[in-house]
């Protein structure tokens, strides 16, 4: 095996096809898109050189600022929600439900296999106010409260979005973190217990540091997924009310494909790429810290 | 020597494999051209394809009916094939297909600026010379032709499959029960709405999800107040939507929302729900186009009954420069013909047959008035249809609608922000500023 992997041609043959496919479907469109961001136009009327015009527009465009702010706010809140609830569920599986957790794991994971659009429509119906009250508003009325038009204000629409995305993904992160937690050696846990550690102290000083790598992986998965959120937004709020729940992805899509401005759409895409890169770098930097020394 | 030969064979094999893989990938990435070779001129399509907006059921129903009856011969030579696309993504789909040279033979397009762009780049046919060549140019109503030209930079870039006027449909029974007469001014309309609201009747039914049924009210108020050229002045840069008179119009409509006249959760109401609310007697008025006559004439949808529904023009604004008899008119979505296939014999036969028979079939089968002549007299289905037809034939001038001359970005912004405007989360000034910004930056 060492001889095979030491041979440059063998490495080229093994890596070549995957690299070729990756380059064609990932890298080429990326560089292409960067090229577009210096142009104005679309496939109908053609492209003209626009220099840094799209970037200066990006700098001064209130819609782009709003979308960037919403994207960051949404990513932070939903990532914390998904990973925290997932971690709590994983702790529940490992320390309380133990072997009996299989059924609960499957049930909690279930929303993950549903198409996001279906989940979006489900939540829209759950929280609707017209033409009939959805179950949530009916419940509010039944307990003597006023029904809420959840999708008419930014704050309440954001709450529904967060609840939906945390509910949809928590099962996935619970399973991912569960896989990390079952790898924590029993003898270390046992010796910690003998030393008097239990409950929160056990989690804080033993379980958390030992499951830290998988926690970091979950965070990176989650933050990158939530920064690029698209399919949750469209069926539930379609970026509204107004454009207050429009993330960068939806703005980019509308700009390029609805408004027919590929150049500015590509500039927004580039901004999103840079944001993803920066956030990932920050998470990696933080993950180098050794929790056992904290 | 043998080793060198084996190595070169391997290299050749490797290169061939790479080339084959690239070819496969390239062919997988390429789009299909809708059954015809790409490029300009009169290509031969494999079908008379029609990309229809999902929500518009009338046009494809008429074309399907024609394919079975009057245009059966043309359909045999070139079968009709219909595809649908939700209107929210129609503009995106048309742009993508145009970019791939894969436009269908005919299609709906809801953004006039896109049609103008397509026409300028030679992808959409100017139908005036084509219909003249086919000898059927007289089959189009002159008023419909002028509306099309007003929309598309002076060219006949679409067939007026519908010719609509817009106004307010009202429930006669509800009006009579509350002692209301048909309002002729905006102030009277608002006073009637207030009486209805006090009596526990929802005054207006409107779809905030679509947005346009609300922005139409803003546009009409502007036309009545500032005159029929008010929106053209905005398009030409002579006026701005942020000018006080324009903002005042948005404020008038926002006030209706603030008073709760559109009912609960207007932002969540879709088109069908808004229509259904009115047709089941749960709201007194509905701002809509004459295309709704097909729903009004359908007893399965209309439990109020067509005889109990009346039609009134958008009221005048006291002291305004516009007139109550300037009806907002449009051609619905308009059927656009791809240049790629125009002048193909079978396509031209189809277009000729459509021009001669569409008007009659649309009125007879769908109770909808089109921009084509009705060559065989069709008795009106009900009184409200007669009223609308009479209004259309006697109207002396018309106006467009709020977004008619906007680019795609301003249209989306306007329709997206309509619900926040009437639900109070956006002020009239903010609404008009957002649309004006989109108008400026998207042009």
- Residue B264 to residue A147, Cβ atoms within 8 A: yes
Interface of A with B in 234-263 (CB under 8 A): 238-244, 254-255, 257-261
Q: What is the mean pLDDT of chain B?
A: 88
What pLDDT score was predicted for residue A292?
54
Has residue B268 got a pLDDT over 80?
A: yes
Is B144 contained in some domain?
A: yes
pLDDT at residue A290, as a whole number: 57
Query: In this complex, which of A21, A43, A240 lies closest to B99 when CB atoms are compared?
Result: A43
Q: Give the gap in angstroms from C-alpha A118 to the nearest C-alpha of chain B.
A: 17
Same domain assignment for residues B280 and B335:
no
3-state secondary structure string across A104-130: HHHHHHHHHHCCHHHHHHHHHHHHCCC
pLDDT for residue B34? 39
CA distance B26 to A154: 44
Q: Which of B12-21, B45-54, B337-346 has the lowest mean pLDDT?
A: B12-21
Same domain, B274 and B309: yes
Predicted pLDDT at A293: 55
Whether residue A48 lies within 8 A of chain B, CB to CB, comes out as no
pLDDT value for B397: 77
Helices (H) and strands (E) in chain B, counts: 18, 10
Per-residue confidence band for B120, with pLDDT thresholds at 50, 70 and 90: very high
B62 with B200, same domain: the answer is no
Residue B276 has pLDDT above 70, yes or no: yes
| Distance in angstroms (rounded) separating the CA atoms of residues A164 and A168 | 6
Please say if the pLDDT value at position A44 is more than 80: yes
3-class secondary structure per residue, B149-186 = HHHCCCCCCCECCCCEEEEEEEEHHHHHHCCCCCCCEH
- Residues from chain A contacting residue B15 (CB–CB below 8 Å): none
Q: Give the one of B25, B120, B264 whose C-beta lies nearest to A149's C-beta.
A: B264
Beta carbons of B264 and A17 less than 8 Å apart: no
Q: How far apart are CA B433 and CA B420, in angstroms?
A: 14
Q: How far apart are alpha carbons A160 and A237 in whole angstroms?
A: 9
B139-178 pLDDT, tens digit each: 998 888 988 998 898 899 999 998 889 999 999 999 999 9
B39, pLDDT greater than 50: no
Instruction: Tell me which residue in A242, A244, A258 faces B92 most closely, judged by beta carbons.
Output: A258
Residue B318 lies in a domain: yes
Residue B218 belongs to a domain:
yes
Q: Which of B153, B203, B194 is nearest to B174 (CA)?
A: B203
Interface of B with A in 200-219 (CB under 8 A): none
Question: Does residue B187 sit in the same domain as residue B270?
Answer: yes
- The answer to whether the Cβ–Cβ distance between A241 and B96 falls below 8 Å is no
Give the tens place of pLDDT for each residue, A156-201.
999 999 999 999 999 999 999 999 998 888 888 888 888 887 788 8
**Residues across chain A:** 294
For residue A116, which of A177, A71, A161, A176 has the smallest C-alpha distance? A161
Q: How many CB pairs under 8 A join A and B?
A: 109
* Predicted confidence band of residue A109 (pLDDT cuts 50, 70, 90): very high
Do B437 and B424 lie in a common domain? Answer: yes
On chain A, the residues whose CB falls within 8 A of the CB of B262 are none
Where do the domains of chain A lie? 1-33, 63-293
Pick the residue from chain B with its C-alpha nearest to A236. Answer: B268
Average pLDDT over residues A201-227: 89
Nearest by CB to A260, which of B114, B268, B420? Answer: B114
Give the distance from residue B8's alpha carbon to the nearest chain A alpha carbon, in angstroms.
14
Same-domain check for residues B98 and B198: no
Number of domains in chain B: 2
Question: Burial level of B305, CB count in 10 A (0-12/13-18/19+)?
Answer: middle
Residues B221 and B143 both lie in one domain? no
| A117 in contact with chain B, both atoms CB, cutoff 8 A | no
- CATH topology for A63-293 is MetI-like fold (1.10.3720)
Q: What does the alpha-carbon distance between residue B370 and residue B139 come to, in Å, rounded to a whole number?
A: 11
Contacts of A241 in chain B (CB under 8 A): 267, 419-420, 423, 425-426
Look up the CATH number of the domain holding residue B303: 3.40.190.10
* Whether pLDDT at B7 is above 70: no
B307 and B368: one domain?
no
Please indicate if any CB of chain B lies within 8 Å of the CB of A57: yes
CA B2 to chain A, closest CA, distance in angstroms equals 20
Report the share of chain B in percent with pLDDT over 70: 90
pLDDT at B22 over 80: no
B229 is a domain residue: yes
- Rounded Cα–Cα distance for residues B31 and B97 (Å): 9
Closest residue in B to A58 (Cα–Cα): B441
User: Looking at this predicted complex, what is its ipTM?
Assistant: 0.80
Q: Is B280 a member of any domain? A: yes
Same domain? For B241 and B343 the reply is no
pLDDT band for B442, please (50, 70, 90 cuts). Answer: low
CA proximity to B343, closest of B51, B45, B32, B121: B45
Please answer yes or no on whether A241 and B267 come within 8 Å at the CB atom. yes
Domain around B300: 166-327+402-441
The Cα–Cα gap between B205 and B202 comes to 7
Binned at pLDDT 50, 70 and 90, residue B106 comes out as very high
pLDDT value at position A2?
66
pLDDT of B5 strictly over 70: no
* The pLDDT of residue B21 is above 70: no
Residues β-bridged to residue B108: B335
| B342 domain residue, yes or no | yes
Residue A294 — very low, low, confident or very high, per pLDDT cuts 50/70/90? very low
Write down the pTM of the prediction.
0.83
Q: Is the domain of B417 the same as that of B367?
A: no
**B350 and B240 co-located in one domain:** no
Residue B294 pLDDT exceeds 90: no
Question: Residue A28: left if φ>0, alpha if ψ -120 to 50, beta else—which one?
Answer: alpha
Contact B417 A243 (CB under 8 A): yes
- Give CA–CA dist B267/B394, Å, rounded: 36
Q: Residue B217 phi/psi, 5° resolution?
A: -65, -40
Say if residue B64's pLDDT is above 60: yes
Q: Nearest CA of chain B to the CA of A163: how many Å?
A: 19
B40, pLDDT greater than 80 = no
Percent of chain B past pLDDT 90, that is, above it, reads 64
Q: Which of A72-86, A94-108, A266-280, B38-52 has the lowest mean pLDDT?
A: B38-52
User: Is residue B13 one of the residues assigned to a domain?
Assistant: no
B110 and B134 share one domain:
yes
Lowest mean pLDDT among A51-60, A85-94, B198-207, B326-335: B326-335
- Give a yes or no: residue B386 inside a domain: no
Place of tokens 């390029």: A256
The whole-number pLDDT of residue B25 equals 35
Q: How confident is the model at residue B29 (pLDDT cuts 50, 70, 90)?
A: very low
């Amino acid at each position: 095996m060492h001889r095979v992997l030491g041979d440059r041609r063998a490495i080229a043959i093994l890596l070549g096809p995957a690299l070729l496919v990756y380059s064609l479907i990932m890298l080429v469109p990326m560089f292409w898109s960067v090229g577009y961001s210096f142009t104005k136009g679309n496939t109908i009327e053609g492209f003209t050189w626009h220099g840094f015009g799209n970037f200066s527009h990006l700098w001064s465009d209130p819609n782009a600022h709003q979308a960037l702010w919403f994207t960051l706010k949404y990513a932070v809140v939903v990532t914390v929600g998904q990973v925290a609830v997932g971690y709590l569920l994983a702790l529940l599986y490992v320390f309380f439900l133990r072997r009996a957790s299989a059924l609960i794991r499957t049930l909690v994971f279930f929303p993950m296999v549903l198409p996001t659009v279906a989940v979006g429509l489900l939540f829209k119906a759950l929280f609707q106010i017209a033409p009939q009250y959805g179950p949530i508003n009916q419940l509010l009325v039944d307990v003597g409260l006023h029904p809420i038009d959840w999708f008419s204000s930014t704050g309440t629409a954001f709450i529904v979005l967060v609840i939906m995305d945390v509910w949809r993904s928590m099962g996935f992160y619970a399973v991912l973190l569960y896989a990390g937690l079952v790898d924590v050696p029993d003898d270390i846990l046992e010796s910690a217990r003998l030393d008097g550690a239990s409950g929160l102290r056990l989690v804080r000083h033993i379980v958390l540091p030992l499951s830290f790598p998988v926690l970091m992986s979950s965070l990176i998965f989650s933050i990158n997924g939530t920064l690029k959120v698209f399919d949750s937004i469209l069926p539930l709020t379609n970026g509204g009310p107004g454009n207050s729940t429009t993330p960068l992805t939806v703005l980019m899509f509308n700009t390029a494909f609805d408004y027919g401005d590929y150049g500015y759409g590509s500039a927004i895409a580039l901004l999103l790429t840079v944001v993803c890169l920066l956030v990932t770098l920050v998470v990696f930097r933080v993950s180098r810290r050794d929790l056992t020394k904290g | 020597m043998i080793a060198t030969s084996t190595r070169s064979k391997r290299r050749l094999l490797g290169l061939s494999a790479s080339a084959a893989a690239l070819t496969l990938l390239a062919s997988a990435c390429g789009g299909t051209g809708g059954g015809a070779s790409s490029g300009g001129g009169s290509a031969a399509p494999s079908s008379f394809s029609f990309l229809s907006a999902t929500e518009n059921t009338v046009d494809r129903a008429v074309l399907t009916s024609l394919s079975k009856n009057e245009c059966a011969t043309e359909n045999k030579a070139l079968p009709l094939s219909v595809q649908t696309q939700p209107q929210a993504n129609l503009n995106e789909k048309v742009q993508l297909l145009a970019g791939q040279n894969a436009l269908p033979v005919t299609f709906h397009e809801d953004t006039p600026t896109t049609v103008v762009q397509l026409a300028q780049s030679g992808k959409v046919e100017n139908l005036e010379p084509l219909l003249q060549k086919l000898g059927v140019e007289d089959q189009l109503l002159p008023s419909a032709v002028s509306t099309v030209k007003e929309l598309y930079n002076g060219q006949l870039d679409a067939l007026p499959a519908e010719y609509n006027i817009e106004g307010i449909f009202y429930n006669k029974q509800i009006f009579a029960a509350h002692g209301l007469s048909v309002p002729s001014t905006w102030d009277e309309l608002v006073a009637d709405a207030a009486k209805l609201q006090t009596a526990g009747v929802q005054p207006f039914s409107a779809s905030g999800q679509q947005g346009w049924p609300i922005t139409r009210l803003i546009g009409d108020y502007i036309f009545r107040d500032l005159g029929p050229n008010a929106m053209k002045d905005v398009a030409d840069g002579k006026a701005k939507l942020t000018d006080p008179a324009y903002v005042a119009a948005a404020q008038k409509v926002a006030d209706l929302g603030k008073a709760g006249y559109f009912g609960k959760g207007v932002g969540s109401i879709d088109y069908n729900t808004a229509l259904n609310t009115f047709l089941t007697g749960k709201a007194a008025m509905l701002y809509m186009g004459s295309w709704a006559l097909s729903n009004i004439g359908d007893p399965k949808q209309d439990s109020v009954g067509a005889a109990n529904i009346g039609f009134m023009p958008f009221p005048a604004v006291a002291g305004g420069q516009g007139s109550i008899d300037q009806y907002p008119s449009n051609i619905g979505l308009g059927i656009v013909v791809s240049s790629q296939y125009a002048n193909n014999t079978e396509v031209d036969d189809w277009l000729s047959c459509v021009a001669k028979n569409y008007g009659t079939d649309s009125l007879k089968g769908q109770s909808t008035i089109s921009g084509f002549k009705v060559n065989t007299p069709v008795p009106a289905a009900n009184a409200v249809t007669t009223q609308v037809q009479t209004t259309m034939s006697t109207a002396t001038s018309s106006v467009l609608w709020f977004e008619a001359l906007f680019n795609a970005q301003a249209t989306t912004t306007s329709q997206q922000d309509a619900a926040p405007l009437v639900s109070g989360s956006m002020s009239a000034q903010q609404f008009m500023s957002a649309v004006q910004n989109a108008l400026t930056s998207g042009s």
